[in-house]
Amino acid sequence: MEPTAGIGGASGAIPIGISSIGVGSSPGSLSINAAQPHSGSSSSNTSPVTLVSRAEQRKAKAVSDAIDKALRLDRERLQKERGAKLLILGPSETGKTTVLKQLKLMYGRKGLDVERQTYRRVVHLNTMKAMQALSYGLQRANIPLEHAENIAHLETVMRLEGTLKRYSVTSIGLANPAISRKITDAKAETDMFLEMVPAIKALWADNGIQQTFRTVTNLNLQDTAKYFLESVDRVADLNYIPTDDDILQARVRTLAVSEHVFNIDGVTYRIFDVGGQRSLRKYWAPYFDDVNAIIFMVALSAYDQPCEEDERLNRLEECMALFNSIANHKLFEVTSFLLFLNKIDIFQRKLEAGSLVMRYFPDYRGPNDYPSTTMYFQYRFLQQCKDTAKQVYTHFTHATDTNQMRVIVIAVNTIVQRLNLQNSGLM
């Protein structure tokens, strides 16, 4: 609205009241100017003055604020309906699939029920492979068995190698013709596990195996080995049905790209999980387009372990190199990263058992405690980003802990939605 003409003589108009009324994102202004009246007759060409009271100003502002809020909510609703695409990347055995299991448990329509029976064979295979790895570790470290009668059990377990290699424990994802698959007989696996139960129980109770578990670090041993080895009687029951915790703890190797859709707080997420082995990383690229954010998984507990594909290379060093290549990829110049430094429970147990970080990372000179070492590794990963302004949100995670993951997922959802609104120019 144009300002009302001023009233008065040569001194000009004297403003009495001014109010601003915002409409949408382009606020207009209403200015009312008036002057002290003359004692004589007024000029014939002056305009009438309408004064805006404070009550009317407040009412106008309330209307404006309501319009602004309605427009903002409408934009946010459209952004939510558009959804978000996330990639979960990282080397193998960093917990990518476990995060997806947690999302299924919290936001899936049927939780983990669809795959519950399938995980029965996974649990059995995990338990056998855990004892097999410990048996090899005991022999390589020349640790004697406590009880001589367990030598026969050890030999029985050692003979499992050729048999277990024939069995495939892989997730079912999008078909990838470059990856061959093995189809196994679940009943045969269960029968084999039941035959092995006496040997597994006897060896796990032997101090030689316990010493191997506590002191030998370069084992190809899954992180959840203890969980299943302490539950042999329960998982060997003929009526055994895996619990949610069993499924979260079970190790499944991802050999294909799998897409999962979740609705989290009204937002539809399309989340892609990919195999982390080196040989599978060449299949990641087709899924890099239109990514809203990347969750990059790191297993902090792997700081004292060699790579499965190359034992000369430290797992965490290899993970840093991979993060470097992804974080600085030209397709992700404006993509934000959610860095999950995972398996903090196992990491802390290793520190408390006396495993020195500086032995594997000589440039570290701080105390071997949890706060100092976690800050060191966080800094090392953030160092990999050449663009110092790049947004990297760090979370220290324990992916098998549902309560902790629930809090983190809520935080991640808030971050992703804020990033979406910023990238769309809505914030």
The residues annotated as belonging to the active site are 93, 98, 251, 273, 277
- Residues 223 and 225: their CA atoms lie apart, in Å, by 6
HEC-encoded secondary structure of 299-326: EHHHHHCECCCCCCCEHHHHHHHHHHHH
Amino acid at residue number 301: S
- Annotated binding residue 216: no
Say if residues 263 and 244 touch (Cβ distance below 8 Å). no
**Is 173 within any annotated ligand binding site?**
no
Is 190 assigned to a binding site? Answer: no
Residue 272 bridge partners (DSSP):
87, 259
Instruction: Decide: helix, strand or coil at residue 57.
Output: helix
Burial label, 124 (beta-carbon count in 10 A; 0-12, 13-18, 19+): buried
Do you know the residue count of the chain? 427
Q: Which residues contact 185 (CB under 8 A, 6 or more apart)?
A: none
422 labelled ligand-binding: no
What does DSSP assign to residue 53? Answer: P
17 is annotated as contributing to ligand binding: no
Q: CA–CA separation, 362 vs 334, rounded Å?
A: 34
Report whether 40 belongs to an annotated binding site: no
Asked if residue 344 belongs to a known ligand binding site, the reply is: yes
Flag whether 84 is marked binding.
no
Q: Is 6 annotated as ligand-binding?
A: no
Q: Please indicate if the annotation marks 343 as binding a ligand.
A: yes
Instruction: Tell me if 97 is assigned to a ligand binding site.
Output: yes
> Was 254 annotated as part of a binding site?
yes
Structure tokens at 58: 């407040």
Contact 291, 335 (CB under 8 A): yes
Q: Amino acid identity of 260?
A: H
The one-character DSSP state at 47 is P
Find out whether 275 is annotated in a ligand binding site. yes
Q: What's the rounded Cα separation, in Å, for the pair 287 and 279? A: 16
**Tokens read off for 367:** 């105390």
Q: What is the DSSP letter of 275?
A: -
Task: Tell me the CA distances in angstroms from 83 to 75, 77, 127, 266, 271, one per residue in order.
Answer: 13, 10, 39, 9, 11
Annotated ligand binding at 95? The verdict is: yes
CA dist., res. 306 & res. 220, Å (int): 9
Q: Say how far apart CA 122 and CA 115 lie, in whole Å.
A: 11
Tell me whether residue 123 is annotated as binding: no
Residue 248 marked in a binding site = yes
Is 103 among the annotated ligand-binding positions?
no
Is 399 flagged in the annotation as binding? yes
Tokens of residue 12, six digits: 């000009």
Phi and psi based region of residue 248 (left: phi greater than 0; alpha: psi -120 to 50; beta: remaining)? alpha
Q: How far apart are CA 240 and CA 227, in angstroms?
A: 16
The answer to whether 250 is annotated as binding is yes
Asked whether residue 409 is marked as a ligand-binding residue, the answer is: no
Q: How far apart are CA 320 and CA 378, in angstroms?
A: 10
Residue ranges for the known binding site for GTP are 93-98, 248-254, 273-277, 342-345, 399
Annotated binding site: 93-98, 248-254, 273-277, 342-345, 399
> Which residues carry a binding-site annotation for Mg(2+)?
97, 254
